Structures are given as C-alpha cells and as structure tokens.
Amino acid sequence: MKILRTIAEVRAAVSAARRESQSVGLVPTMGAFHEGHLSLMRRARAQNDLVVVSLFVNPTQFGANEDLGAYPRDEVRDAALAEAEGVDILLAPAASEIYPDGFATNIHVAGLTDVLDGAARGPHHFDGVATVVTKLFGIVRPDVAYFGQKDAQQVLVVRRVARDLDLDVRIEACPIVREADGLAMSSRNVYLDADARSRATALNRALDAAASVFAAGERDSDGILSAARRVLADAGITPDYLELRDASTLESVDRVEGDALLAVAARVGAARLIDNHTLSATKDA
C-alpha cells in the first residue's frame, strides 16, 4: 500500500490505473478506523481494481465548540489496518493540501441540510462535508464511493451533490456495523467511559422499540416516537433530536406510509452519538 500526501501523487497513481482500464473505488474517512470502516474497504476491494482510502480529519465540518482537536488520530494504526484489507492507496494529506491559501469555495445543499444534524450542528457541518467530498471526487475520480449508513443524512447529501453537479460516481451506502450489544460503531465511542458506554446502548434499543411498535402496526409518528422516547428517558438520555423523516427527502412525516428514516442523536457522557433505522411501510404492500 502506498501512503500518498499530495493531490498530484494521487492523480498520477489513478491515471496509471485508468490507462490499464482499471476501476477505482474510494472510501472517504476521517480515520480512527473501526470495523465499520473496514467493512467499507472490503466492499470496495471486492468491487474494484484500485482502492483508495482517504484519511483526513476535515476541519471545515467541525464547529467552534466541537471536537476537532480531540478527534482520535493514529495514522500508523490506521495504515496497518487499511493495508491488511488490501487497500492500494491511503491518501493522507495535510489540511493545507486540501484547503490551500485563498481557498474560497463552499458547496451548500439546500433542504436536506436544514434538519437533523444540519439543524443540531449548524449549516457549516454539511457544507464542510459536501465541499471536502466534492474535492475528493475531483482528486480521485472514482467509479464508486462508499459511505456508511450510520451517517444516513450524509449519504443523502453526497448523493444530491453527485446528482446536481453531474459527478460521474456511484454512491454506495453500506449497512451499519454494530457492537454485540447493538451500539453502532463510531470513532467517537472511544470517548465513552464505562457508565456512558453502558447507557449508550439505549440509542439502538430505543430505535428497536420504535421499530417493534411499527412492526405491530403503528403508523402514526407520535406513537412510534413515544416508544423510543421511553427507552431514552429510562437511560437518562435527552436526545438532540429523535425524529421520523422521509427516507429520501428528509421531510417530516406524521404517518409512515412509505420508507421513513428514524434518526436519533444524543450526547452520552463525553460523546455525541448518532444512529438510525429505516422503517418501510412499502414492505406491507
């Protein structure tokens, strides 16, 4: 595996692969790899000739009071894990390589970014995501890019960017990978002490409770969300948000009649965690 630091190096490597008619897969990450990241790499390895993984803690998607400085970083460990998964190129640039002096362009996706994490974290968050992903697509020019479904809103935003800007890349969303007790794997799980780690399982348990009443026939949002709220309250967790939204548009839904995204975000101890389930009424038809 090659560890490359510059845009020019990556473009040269990808161009060489293209001359051999090789397909290119990209896994954008901020590092601190866990099994969720590795599952994306395996999917990319199975489907492409050349696999590029970006490792870049993107400063523009963090707010002033968020955890940019504390975000876990261990490039040596991450590189070893990526190499073990058969990754060909680890793109690990400095911030100045991605955002050189005078950088003044921002990608904003209206609508999809106004709710859920866009409302909770502020408009900068998804602007930063959309901008850095657009840059990575321009640098690597992948055939396919792989994202985790845990960041469901991010997947929708990136798909909209690719569609609206006519970027020739397929966005593949891969299933959430969970710990044995149901906690969604996240780089921020390292912030959890023992008590918070135990309580954090309430996020997935709350989603499961909501999914259970949905499976039993409940379709009204209030009834579905009430089941989840009870589980969170029992764990002493007050969510940043707990909402049902249309799975494609993120418009609010009062009653689930198609595919709906049940999404939650909450601070548990020192970590802010997110999770989601998709509820599908169309399967009943």
Locate the DSSP E strands across the chain.
2-4, 24-29, 50-55, 89-91, 144-148, 170-174, 239-246, 259-268, 271-280
Task: Report the distance separating Cα 141 and Cα 125, nearest Å.
Answer: 23
Question: What is the C-alpha end-to-end distance of the chain, expressed in Å?
Answer: 48
Alpha carbons 136 and 124: distance in angstroms, whole number: 18
Neighbours of 215 (CB within 10 A): 11
The active-site residue out of 37, 108, 124, 277 is: 37
CB atoms within 10 A of CB 109: 19
Distance CA 84, CA 172 (A): 22
Integer-rounded Cα radius of gyration of the chain:
19
153 burial class (0-12, 13-18, 19+ CB within 10 angstroms)? Answer: buried
Running DSSP on this structure, what letter comes out for residue 71?
S
SS3 at position 162: helix
Is 37 catalytic? The answer is: yes
CA distance 143 to 186: 26
- What positions carry a catalytic annotation? 37
